[in-house]
Structure 1
Amino acid sequence: MSDHRPVLAVIGAGPAGLAAALAASARGVRVVLIDSAAAAGGQFYRQPAPGLGAGRPQALHHQWRTWRRLGAGLDDRLAAESVTQLSDHHVWCVERGSQDFTVHALIGPQQEESVAVHADGVLLATGGYEKVLPFPGWTLPGVVTAGGAQALLKGGLVLPGRTAVVAGTGPLLLPVATGLAAAGVEVLALVESAGPADFVRRAGTWATAPAKLTEGFAYASQLLYHKVSVMVRHVVVEAHGTERLESVTVAALDSEGRPVPGAERRLTCDALAVGHGMLPHTDLADGLGCRLDGPRVHVDDEQRTEVPGVWAAGETTGIGGATLSLAEGHIAGRSAAARLTGVVPDPHDWASAARARTRLRSFFAALDAAYAARPVRWTEQVTDETVVCRCEEVTAGAVREAVDTLGAGDLRTVKLLTRAGMGWCQGRMCEPGVAGVAGCEPVPARRLLARPVPLGVLAAPIDPPAVQ
């Protein structure tokens, strides 16, 4: 006997995707949960590989009880066959038909074969990725992104080095610095370009999210316990080394966001974890024609995009952490289940999650404003010899020549003249840096393919193997 329940494809198995899958599958919808990782959890709930034999994985996480509840709920839904989990599936395109959708995904680490998932609705929970800005020496071995250092520790129980500096800006630096210190790394300094005065001015907002305030105090106490020096209104201006990272130069910033002459300090280290905030993953939403508000996917009160049958939740709709992602995923899953089964959604069903969403969105908007209150003039420290596009090895000098000499007035022209952004990442990682050096506004590029796809897959028969 066939199962005629509507199918919802949830893309992304982080906090938002898990919450959405559990909410929808409990309300009469078959869910296909698709994720590129080997196990559910996303970056926030990333687990050590089973073969590593981690004795206390909870030591690497906070909100461990929430993760255990989500994991147990997923196991129950898998056993009841109301959720199908597709791990190691890398979605490269979502086709919109007249009545349904086809999700195309590459399989496994080699990604040489593609399968198709047919669904009545799609829920995008694709998360975010790090914004990384170039500086002299940033391509040296030993320099990693802040999230990369966290992934190494959580997923592989690997330390990026013995002596580290954590630098850049944004709330991600706090768990990275404290996590590394707790794991035995000597964290010399947390170098944050934002200043405390910008946070004090918004004290009223912090009081609206007491759990987040408590979390911040916990990080501060851990930094104090591990004797991590916190350097606010400072920036790493250069990384030094021959074969690999050996030291970094840190400088104080003046009121204009420039390094103060004579205020440089050199720190000897073998690891630098650096990040400059997060950006939403919007490639699949772009390809579907969803409306974007700046860098994020636009959604209504039910987490619906402007494309019928497509919902979005979590950091693809704006960076806001795991708790906000859980609330949005819960709302999106309930809304999708109601809409796909022909029931008029009742907002009272998710009233509590909606209140949490409103409160947390306000909190993170204030947090973003505090971090961005005093911009750093980082492009002035990028020398012409600094590589800004690692895939194509394009230097800042080449980008500046394209603008100043060849007359490039937008990012696309810079790309055509220099090849910056034409490599493996297709500009996803280097675009903020190239745009900053060029003085151009970054413009979302509508891509048919959300990730590189082998030509053999594109040349295969039109109907790839389908997952029912």
Structure 2
Amino acid sequence: MPTSTSEPLTGAPRPYDLAVIGAGPAGLAAAVTAADLGLRCALVDAGRSSGGQYYRHPAPGLGASRPDRLHHGWSVYTGLADRLAAHRAAGRVDLLAGHQVWALERSGERDWRLHATTGPDADDRTTVRSAAVLLAPGPYERQLPFPGWTLPGVVTAGGAQAMLKAGLVLPGRRIVVAGSGPLLLAAASSLVTAGAEVPAVVEATAYLGYARRPGVLAAVPAKLVEGAGHGSALLRHGVRLRPRSAVVEAHGDDRVTAVTVARLDADWRPVPGSERRIECDALAVGHGLVPQIELATELGAATRTTPDGTAALKVDARLRTTVRGLWAAGETCGVGGADLAITEGELAAHAVADQPVRTALLRRRSRLRAFAELMAAAHRPGAGWTDWLREDTDVCRCEEVPAGRIREAVDELGAGDARTVKLLTRAGMGWCQGRMCGPAVACLAGGGELPEESRADSRPFSCPVPLGQLAAERDDDEG
């Protein structure tokens, strides 16, 4: 099974031609393609192996003999991993696993420095130098809180898949899958195939948004086949699909034991009298994905608002951001799936190497990106979801900030945006730095509506960094 780790570096003998941040589909494709084109690359990832979240796989010690049964398109990953192994053996690519990049710094036209942490101690740090940087860190899940969402047994939809792919374990035996977006069908399909009972897939939309642009659907037949495959698996296992519905409350003391599901109107408001209780011992819930763009926005990179209301990096046809020497590919440019991410990784590598690109690849990217925009529009949350919340429902889990305090900041203290709410309530100041609560806080600050223009937070560090490492960085600079 492809896997790799590396020791922390104190610096390379010479700067790399390209540093790729993220070893998921986009970053992996970018690194091996750039190496094919003659560039010397560093592939940097916080995980302990290549593949990212999408191609997450069990550790060798677990002895999984058929990891392909946990994935869609596993052969695509193994092909990329084999190419990576060949380039590593030839010295064209260094895989720097276990490296969490917390800041980018440019000291010259072609002199980037990537500051990364590799552990908790002061010496667990490294700086990678490169002439160009390609961002491909992927997304994280969007959560819309509801009463009981902090109970043990409530996990994200992607988290349930990660537990299965990496640990070969299930979050429970009877699992309700809920939220919105195509990830729900994939997660439910994986769970029932692994032996879990899924009494319902609760989807907040009705999938009607996809019918608005039939030409876009017809241009990506593989996506239709993939969706049909997930649907067939659910039908075989008797899983019920509940469209235009949502989990509005989770019940239990020490862990979740049941959920209340309600029908939604067109604005995602629960329909009175439609509530139904479903017994379960786990809930996998998520409302789509949010691009990780913090490293770029701190440098002033421009963003765009995707149809589902999230902020993504603005790039041109060659995947260049508005910051010179900085490229981006995959979900960072707007969530669209592994096929699009791989295509954009290849395109970006050609752009960095200043090489021409096949017309077929450009057309493929255009088709897949159009489908991504359609998908985002089809699953955009409605403003009425905030009616699920009670005043005592925690919105920010890290700082335990309830919905009532956020509404007070908006209605009585005049907060009109998420940043002001954060300053008044500490919502988003915890360990996750707003990754879990950020979209919900922004909606509450806007009266339930998603902002017309997403404005990503800009902060010096994209992740928590031990103070000892910051002090060591300063000592190095002074030296």
Band of TM-score, shorter chain: over 0.9
Instruction: Write the distance in 1 (CA, Å) between the matches of 2:284 and 2:120.
Output: 26
Residues 1:158 and 2:166 aligned together: no
Q: Secondary structure at the match of 1:288?
A: coil
- Match for residue 334 of structure 1? 350
How does the TM-score come out when normalised to structure 1? 0.94
- Match for residue 282 of structure 2? 271
Q: Which of residues 178, 196, 211 in structure 1 aligns to 2:189?
A: 178
Instruction: Write the distance in 2 (CA, Å) between the matches of 1:255 and 1:299.
Output: 33
Residues 1:145 and 2:161 aligned together: no
In structure 1, the gaps of 5 or more residues are: 339-344
Q: Which of residues 340, 354, 359 in structure 2 aligns to 1:351?
A: 359
- Match for residue 179 of structure 2? 168
Q: Secondary structure at the match of 1:243?
A: coil
Cα pair distance change 1:381/1:163, threshold 3 Å: same
- Match for residue 22 of structure 2? 12
- Match for residue 146 of structure 2? 135
Identity %: 53
Q: Answer whether contact 2:260 2:275 (CA < 8 A) is retained.
A: yes
- Match for residue 8 of structure 2? none
Instruction: Write the distance in 1 (CA, Å) between the matches of 2:445 and 2:103.
Output: 30
Of residues 21-30 and 164-173 in structure 1, the stretch that sits farther from structure 2 once superposed is 21-30
Q: Answer whether contact 1:88 1:109 (CA < 8 A) is retained.
A: no
Q: Answer whether contact 1:330 1:350 (CA < 8 A) is retained.
A: no
- Match for residue 116 of structure 1? 127
Instruction: Write the distance in 1 (CA, Å) between the matches of 2:38 and 2:267.
Output: 57
Instruction: Write the distance in 2 (CA, Å) between the matches of 1:453 and 1:329.
Output: 28
Residues 1:458 and 2:470 aligned together: yes
CA RMSD of aligned residues (A): 1.8
Of residues 285-294 and 207-216 in structure 1, the stretch that sits farther from structure 2 once superposed is 285-294
State the 1:254 CA deviation.
Answer: 2.6
How does the TM-score come out when normalised to structure 2? 0.92
Instruction: Write the distance in 2 (CA, Å) between the matches of 1:165 and 1:464.
Output: 51
Cα pair distance change 1:255/1:311, threshold 3 Å: closer
State the 1:367 CA deviation.
Answer: 1.8
Q: Answer whether contact 2:18 2:41 (CA < 8 A) is retained.
A: yes
Instruction: Write the distance in 2 (CA, Å) between the matches of 1:323 and 1:463.
Output: 44
- Match for residue 293 of structure 1? 304
Q: How does 1:170-209 map to 2 (within 5 A)?
A: 170-209=181-220
Matching residue's letter, 1:266: R
Instruction: Write the distance in 2 (CA, Å) between the matches of 1:415 and 1:162.
Output: 38
- Match for residue 225 of structure 1? 236
Instruction: Write the distance in 2 (CA, Å) between the matches of 1:433 and 1:224.
Output: 33
Cα pair distance change 1:6/1:385, threshold 3 Å: closer
State the 1:109 CA deviation.
Answer: 6.9
- Match for residue 341 of structure 1? none
Instruction: Write the distance in 2 (CA, Å) between the matches of 1:281 and 1:111.
Output: 26
Instruction: Write the distance in 1 (CA, Å) between the matches of 2:99 and 2:412.
Output: 45
- Match for residue 443 of structure 1? 455
State the 1:263 CA deviation.
Answer: 1.2
Q: Answer whether contact 2:42 2:95 (CA < 8 A) is retained.
A: yes
Q: For 1:49-106, what per-residue CA distance to the aligned partner results, in whole angstroms no more than 9, with x for missing partners? A: 1111112111001111111110100000010010001001000001011131000110
State the 1:458 CA deviation.
Answer: 0.8
Q: Secondary structure at the match of 2:238?
A: coil
Q: Answer whether contact 2:147 2:390 (CA < 8 A) is retained.
A: yes
Instruction: Write the distance in 1 (CA, Å) between the matches of 2:39 and 2:268.
Output: 52
Instruction: Write the distance in 2 (CA, Å) between the matches of 1:4 and 1:458.
Output: 24
Q: Answer whether contact 1:123 1:311 (CA < 8 A) is retained.
A: yes
Q: Answer whether contact 1:331 1:353 (CA < 8 A) is retained.
A: yes
State the 1:127 CA deviation.
Answer: 0.8
Matching residue's letter, 2:101: V
Q: How does 1:314-393 map to 2 (within 5 A)?
A: 314-338=330-354, 345-346=355-356, 349-372=357-380, 375=382, 377-393=384-400
- Match for residue 9 of structure 2? none
In structure 2, the gaps of 5 or more residues are: 1-11, 306-310
Q: How does 1:231-250 map to 2 (within 5 A)?
A: 231-250=242-261
Residues 1:64 and 2:78 aligned together: no
Instruction: Write the distance in 2 (CA, Å) between the matches of 1:224 and 1:386.
Output: 35
Q: Secondary structure at the match of 2:274?
A: strand
Q: Which of residues 277, 281, 290 in structure 1 aligns to 2:292?
A: 281
State the 1:232 CA deviation.
Answer: 0.5
Q: For 1:384-435, what per-residue CA distance to the aligned partner results, in whole angstroms no more than 9, with x for missing partners? A: 0000001100000111111112222222221111111111112122111112
Q: Answer whether contact 2:209 2:374 (CA < 8 A) is retained.
A: no
Matching residue's letter, 2:331: E
Q: Answer whether contact 2:137 2:292 (CA < 8 A) is retained.
A: yes
Cα pair distance change 1:136/1:335, threshold 3 Å: same
Instruction: Write the distance in 1 (CA, Å) between the matches of 2:470 and 2:267.
Output: 50
Q: Secondary structure at the match of 1:459?
A: helix
Q: Answer whether contact 1:116 1:464 (CA < 8 A) is retained.
A: no
Q: Answer whether contact 1:234 1:253 (CA < 8 A) is retained.
A: yes
Matching residue's letter, 2:458: R
Q: Which of residues 405, 408, 419 in structure 1 aligns to 2:412?
A: 405
Q: For 1:107-165, what per-residue CA distance to the aligned partner results, in whole angstroms no more than 9, with x for missing partners? A: 14778621000111101011111100100100000000011111111011110001000
Matching residue's letter, 1:366: L
Q: Secondary structure at the match of 1:399?
A: helix
Of residues 109-118 and 283-292 in structure 1, the stretch that sits farther from structure 2 once superposed is 109-118
Q: Answer whether contact 1:331 1:350 (CA < 8 A) is retained.
A: no
Q: Secondary structure at the match of 1:426?
A: coil
Question: Paired residues, what number?
Answer: 455
Q: Secondary structure at the match of 2:19?
A: strand
Instruction: Write the distance in 2 (CA, Å) between the matches of 1:317 and 1:461.
Output: 31
Cα pair distance change 1:63/1:110, threshold 3 Å: farther
Instruction: Write the distance in 1 (CA, Å) between the matches of 2:476 and 2:19.
Output: 17
Residues 1:25 and 2:58 aligned together: no
Instruction: Write the distance in 2 (CA, Å) between the matches of 1:107 and 1:417.
Output: 33
Instruction: Write the distance in 1 (CA, Å) between the matches of 2:155 and 2:200.
Output: 15
Residues 1:38 and 2:45 aligned together: no
- Match for residue 75 of structure 1? 85
Q: Secondary structure at the match of 1:416?
A: helix
Q: Which of residues 312, 321, 329 in structure 2 aligns to 1:305?
A: 321
Q: Answer whether contact 1:5 1:28 (CA < 8 A) is retained.
A: no
Cα pair distance change 1:106/1:321, threshold 3 Å: same
Q: For 1:213-239, what per-residue CA distance to the aligned partner results, in whole angstroms no more than 9, with x for missing partners? A: 111111111110111110001111100
